[in-house]
Structure 1
Amino acid sequence: MLMLLAALQSEYGVPDPQQLEGLMAGLAAGDRESLAQLYHRTRAAVYGLALSILGSGHDAEDVTQDTYVTAWEKCHLYRPQGTPMAWLLTITRNLARMKLRDRGRTQDLGEEQWHAIPAQSPSVTPEDRAVLEAALSILSDQERQIVMLHAAAGLKHREIAKLLELPLPTVLSKYRRALSKLKTKLEGDDAP
């Protein structure tokens, strides 16, 4: 399972914080190419977080687009005290929560929404994706968010705790519990 998540991480790539800082400076200067590069380097993590909160591919796409519009409009508010990725994911989380409140409910992920996550790498096959989807479906929403933020977005547990507004020990505990569940699920599926 961890190898599959590592493949997702390599598929999406963990953006270099220094490169993102440069792109944020370009954004503040009004450079549209910096926005395009920021989008290209971070869209999978932004979309993944929105999808894990909303459970709807359509809504996640809307929130992803709104995140970059907001980043463009509010880039002057960014302070390099944290990381650009954490700043973007905080915008994403807030927009997703607002949409969730407006909608008033969550939905299960359909196959088409799962496959809407960018898949540009041949290292993640449709079969791998199906196994990952089945395994992740046994996790709670919060466990799934923590695993995806750590494995796919490359955030550290401390950053996840801040983003999700949870104590660090809770994030660590939920992450370990989620990995244990995933291991049990995958070993059970492989049993004759």
Structure 2
Amino acid sequence: MLSMLMTTEYAPAEDRHELQQLLLHIAGGERDALAELYQRTRTAVYGLALSYLKNAQDAQDLTQDVYVQVWDCAAQYRPSGSPMGWLLTVCRNLCLMRMRREERHAALSEEEWDAIPARECGLDADERALLQGALASLGDEERRIVLLHAVTGMKHREIAALLELPLPTVLSKYHRALKKMRSCLEGDDAR
């Protein structure tokens, strides 16, 4: 079960150049490039938004806002940086602005988990419920780190930069989170 979480459909090393090219084309006003970027990155952006906002509808809305922001600001991207890191930073900043504005910190409801398409995570309903429980056992920051690594395939160093945390902190929280999840998935509540 835990290995399913650690797989990813996004391969950063392989797609980095292509994502950079898409951002350059978007900066030039090419709508098809924006559509392609959306298709390739929407799961990662939505996952990060959901980890911050804890509301499926708000995360979907914010995901759309991210791509509007990308359309408006693609010229600000510097090819020397990570395109996925830049995109997720845009997402994170929009999430933080929305959270400050709304002061929302509620947990995901069962309805909101059910609103996430099952095909997006490749799990059946029982596995999804187990994963939901395991993720719920984590603190907000631990959950973000695990989801960023699992969904986007980001390296821990990239996650540290995105979340503005020291690398050892990210590594420690990631490994602690995996232990908590493993314990939860094995039915052992001793955390």
Report the TM-score when normalising by structure 1. Answer: 0.91
What's the counterpart of residue 4 of structure 2? 4
The code of the aligned residue for 1:70 comes to: Q
Identity %: 54
The code of the aligned residue for 1:132 comes to: L
> How far did residue 81 of structure 1 move?
1.8
**Secondary structure at 2:26 match in 1:** helix
Aligned equivalents of 1:141 and 1:18: distance in 2? Answer: 31
> How far did residue 2 of structure 1 move?
2.5
1:75-94 alignment, distance < 5 Å = 75-94=74-93
What's the counterpart of residue 48 of structure 1? 47
What's the counterpart of residue 156 of structure 1? 155
**Secondary structure at 2:186 match in 1:** helix
1:131-150 alignment, distance < 5 Å = 131-150=130-149
Relative to 1, partners in 2 of residues 1:119 and 1:29: Cα closer, same or farther, differing over 3 Å? farther
Aligned equivalents of 2:121 and 2:19: distance in 1? Answer: 26
**2:68 matched to 1:69?**
yes
Structure 2: give runs of 5+ residues left out of the alignment: none
Aligned equivalents of 2:40 and 2:117: distance in 1? Answer: 12
1:54-99 residue CA offsets vs partner (Å, 9 max, x unmatched): 1111211121111000000000100012111111100100000111
> How far did residue 25 of structure 1 move?
1.5
Q: Alignment length, in residue pairs?
A: 187
Relative to 1, partners in 2 of residues 1:139 and 1:121: Cα closer, same or farther, differing over 3 Å? closer
Aligned equivalents of 2:50 and 2:121: distance in 1? Answer: 22
> How far did residue 122 of structure 1 move?
8.4
Aligned equivalents of 2:111 and 2:82: distance in 1? Answer: 32
Calculate the aligned-residue CA RMSD, in Å.
1.8
